[in-house]
Chain A
Amino acid sequence: MKTAIVTCDVFLDDVKDIVEEYGLDYPISSFEMAMHDHPEMMRERLQKHLESLESEGFEKTLLVYGSCGGGLQGLCFESLTTVLPHAHDCISIALGNRERHETLQKNEPQSYFLTHGWLDSTRIPGPTRDQWLREHYGSTMDDEDLEELMDADREAFDHYEQLVWVKHREGPEHRARAKATCEAMNWKLVEKEGTVDWVKDLLLGNHDSSRFIITPPGRPLEIRF
């Protein structure tokens, strides 16, 4: 089957590594992180993009996503099969199974979970996010209003007490960024062992029904837990 990979940027480097290692002849396209903030828009964009792949003759897409706030719910195609991990989101995928994610979430709800992909983004609280806020809003607000916005933004993270880094790879700046976040937010840094196995199994076609959702053409993608 002519197959394409569509991934969140959070896993892009893992996907590229696996494709190269195993010589997979699947084109890769990706979308920016945090689309889960707008599930309806996420669904529209993915629907449109996968329809364009469909029009190019692709028959299957491997989606490196989880439920991601419901942003993939209802995707439906005439001739395309979709396969994705039966995961809550990237954290489940990085932890290797969703049960481990559910247990951690329940027992340690004060955790702000992330992976190395998030450490590469401007989204994580702390100096990187503050810089992004200044760059994004600085030209349209005076200093006082900008400080208020940044304070309100920081307040949204007040309930968290620790940064949980689900780690399966580490780049040269990741640890420094994780530590900078913890220092800025007064959080503890916790590392949990992560894995890329679930992504690997997705891309290599090891699609057991307990871990993957396979949706044939004509049926809307349904993710239930």
Chain B
Amino acid sequence: MRCQPKIFNSQQEIQLMSLAEVMEAVIKGRRKIVKNQVPELLAQGVPAKDILEQALIPAMGEVGERFKRNEVYVPEMLVAARAMKQGMELIESELLSAGISPEFKALICTVEGDLHDIGKNLVAIMLKGAGFEVVDLGVNVSKEQVLEAIREHQPHIIALSALLTTTMPAMKDIVELLRQEKVDVKIMVGGAPVTSSYAEEIGADAYSADAASAVEVAKELLAS
């Protein structure tokens, strides 16, 4: 049987196929495919915004959903995040040239005593993809360091992460200090053991269950 070549009806169809390939490459953590495909798409005139919104962001959303269903494990999440980050780096300057610059600034960290940063890093990537300027303070960040960073960077919102019930109390300490110092910033919290009722109990402004929902939570918080 002769192999029948695929006939594309339009340039748009070709581009959609390529965006789908980039999305699939991010989901599977194939950073080198992203590194090759994204510049090609840009060269073809595909807007950076389309690459971001139709490939990179939905890819990480899909990875998050598969992780929740236990279809992928942590290593796959990590390598997908690397592939997304690669994509973001390649489109960043194009986004700026298109006049898409951050409207809001977010400061993010893992709280004192806690070195886990997988979730935090994913949230940072998703916030960046959604147009936030992100200042990442890293891990094991004390309440005093958070206060100092807020004064320096003047974020609109801070996102605190804790992965351990032993370190969750540090979130409460940060909220208390910021309220005491009358710092005008929205505070959202997250991390596997963190719950919405805990967020309410410690006086945080919002809670996010995962990286995918963090963006919507942050936007709603800033709109309120």
Interface residues on B, range: 20 to 34
Return chain B residues, CB-CB under 8 Å to A1.
Answer: none
B31 touches A159 (CB 8 A): no
A159 touches B140 (CB 8 A): yes
CA distance A38 to B70 in the complex (A): 8
- The chain A residue with its CB closest to the CB of B139 is A159
Q: Which residues, 182 to 220 on A, are CB-close (under 8 Å) to B? A: none
Q: Is B213 an interface residue (CB 8 A)?
A: no
Given A69-B192, A105-B167, does the pair A149, B79 have CB atoms closer than 8 Å? yes
Return chain B residues, CB-CB under 8 Å to A89.
Answer: 165
CA distance A145 to B30 in the complex (A): 7
B75 touches A39 (CB 8 A): no
Return chain A residues, CB-CB under 8 Å to B219.
Answer: none
Which has the most chain A C-beta neighbours within 10 Å: B31, B74, B112, B192?
A: B192
- The chain A residue with its CB closest to the CB of B81 is A152
Q: Which residues, 161 to 186 on B, are CB-close (under 8 Å) to A? A: 163-169
CA distance A67 to B168 in the complex (A): 13
CA distance A105 to B166 in the complex (A): 7
Which has the most chain A C-beta neighbours within 10 Å: B32, B79, B118?
A: B79
User: A: which residues have CB within 8 A of B?
Assistant: 36-41, 67, 69-70, 73, 88-89, 98, 101-102, 105-106, 109-110, 133, 136-137, 144-145, 148-150, 152-153, 155-156, 159-160, 223, 225
Return chain A residues, CB-CB under 8 Å to B168.
Answer: 225
Q: Which residues, 58 to 95 on B, are CB-close (under 8 Å) to A? A: 67-68, 70, 73-76, 78-79, 81-82
Return chain A residues, CB-CB under 8 Å to B165.
Answer: 67, 69-70, 88-89, 223, 225
Q: Is B117 an interface residue (CB 8 A)?
A: yes
A109 touches B114 (CB 8 A): yes
Given A70-B193, A225-B169, does the pair A41, B70 have CB atoms closer than 8 Å? yes
Min C-beta distance of B199 to chain A, whole Å: 13
CA distance A99 to B163 in the complex (A): 18
Q: Is B217 an interface residue (CB 8 A)?
A: no
